[in-house]
Amino acid sequence: MRKFIFALIILFATAGIFAVSTEDIQNAAATLNVPYDVLAELVAEYNEGTPAESASSSVVDLNTLYDDFIANGVVADMKYNGQNITIRFPVSSMHANSMYGEEYSWDDSYLYRYEIEGPRRFIEGTNMILNFWCYPDNSEAGKLMNVKSGDYLTVQGTCFIEAPIIKLFGAKIL
């Protein structure tokens, strides 16, 4: 019984640091001689409310994102599009989001009032220029007060690729 409790403690501690896969739970269940369903339920209960650690949560440099896109746009799309990523980039410019044109009157219901642009990248041998646009959540506006062109930002949000534009929506400034 002590061995079982010790193994559960180790498994839960590991689950808090790393995402636990189905295979990990199956292996632990076999080692501990505990039904998979019981152990999976305990792990799920333990992790409830704990953000899952994933490969997409590591910081990606904007140049790496551009390099991946240039090397193979399809792979980059599969890897980043729709994913929650953390990205570091130098600010080229910041301004009010003009998605709806100059006449659009902003209201508090519009989630992305501001737009932050990263540096552009020309793809040699083509006429394509890659662009990076970050749309921080309006609740992050106060964090933009002292940011200027040339400063580096690390942001986390949902990536959408519409070649040649890479957008990050709902960004939290870290």
Of the two residues 48 and 170, the one the predictor is more confident about is 170
CA-based R_g, the chain, Å: 21
CA distances from 44 to 9, 48, 51 (A): 14, 6, 12
pTM of full prediction above 0.95: no
Tens digit of each residue's pLDDT (9 = 90 or more) over 134-164: 999 888 889 998 999 999 999 999 999 988 8
Q: Both tokens of residue 149?
A: 């062109």
Lowest mean pLDDT among 32-36, 59-63, 94-98, 159-163: 32-36
Contacts of 47 (CB under 8 A, 6+ apart): 15, 16, 20
Is the pLDDT score of 121 beyond 80? yes
Mean pLDDT of the chain: 76
54 band by pLDDT with thresholds 50, 70 and 90: very low
